[in-house]
Structure 1
Amino acid sequence: MGMNSEYVEIEPARAAVDALEGPVLIEFGAPWCGHCRAVQPWLAGVMDGFPAIRHLKIEDGPGRPLGRSFHVKLWPTLVLLKQGVETGRLVRPADEQQIRSLLLQSIE
């Protein structure tokens, strides 16, 4: 499925996200966020090795219901879901290995 390079401005409803089949990585952030921009090369490199994971890149901010439903406070926040259930989370990853470790949880 690959990595999405652009943030979705119109976010899906939580019920729609929970209903997605298989592993899903939700990336909450903003295009102007320096922390978010810094992790993009790491995320792209790691996502290439996990083609079965669906990637949702959601622009977050005050009043955005999807981010609030996941209690997102800092960006980027990566939330890994499997069959609609959260199986892992990573806030402001420090390196590519942290992202890889998170995604490996999708195949356990």
Structure 2
Amino acid sequence: MEKIYTPAAPDRATIDALAGATLLEFGANWCGHCMAAQAPLAQAFAGHDGVRHYKVEDGPGRALGRSYRVKLWPTLIFLSDGQEVARLVRPLQAEPISVAFTQIDT
């Protein structure tokens, strides 16, 4: 599991072409909602080591977040073979995150 939101992000075509399970997490390192979501995310992420995780710093003009119509942080987008399967916005409990992981990590 990635720990820090990074400004460098792949482009949408690269994400769409990914095989397997991927979690896109949009937010910012200074965001209180993002910080509050980290403990339940870490709890739910346990046992899903095969899931690729991109922790993307989002904001105005950031193309990847805009392509997914991200409005609030954190937004978690669960992908299977580049296709969105589940989305969670501002999750504060591990259970819904765990449920979303089961939809992409087989």
Q: What band does the TM-score fall into relative to the shorter chain?
A: over 0.9
Residue 56 (1) aligns with residue 54 (2): yes
Distance 1:45 1:8 in 2: 21
Which amino acid in structure 2 is aligned with residue 48 of structure 1?
A: A
Which amino acid in structure 2 is aligned with residue 27 of structure 1?
A: E
Shift of 1:8: 1.6
Gaps of at least 5 residues in structure 2 are: none
Shift of 1:51: 1.1
Residue 89 (1) aligns with residue 94 (2): no
Distance 1:78 1:64 in 2: 16
Q: Percent identity?
A: 51
Please give the TM-score of this superposition, normalised by the length of structure 1. Answer: 0.93
Shift of 1:37: 0.3
Aligned residue runs from structure 1 range 38-53, under 5 A: 38-53=36-51
Shift of 1:107: 3.6
Q: Which residue does 1:104 correspond to in 2?
A: 102
How many residues are treated as equivalent by the alignment? 106
Please give the secondary structure, in 2, of the residue aligned with 1:100: helix
Shift of 1:53: 0.8
Distance 1:52 1:13 in 2: 21
Please give the secondary structure, in 2, of the residue aligned with 1:4: coil
Q: Which residue does 1:35 correspond to in 2?
A: 33
Gaps of at least 5 residues in structure 1 are: none
Please give the TM-score of this superposition, normalised by the length of structure 2. Answer: 0.95
Shift of 1:94: 2.6
Distance 1:54 1:12 in 2: 13
Please give the secondary structure, in 2, of the residue aligned with 1:8: coil
Shift of 1:104: 1.0
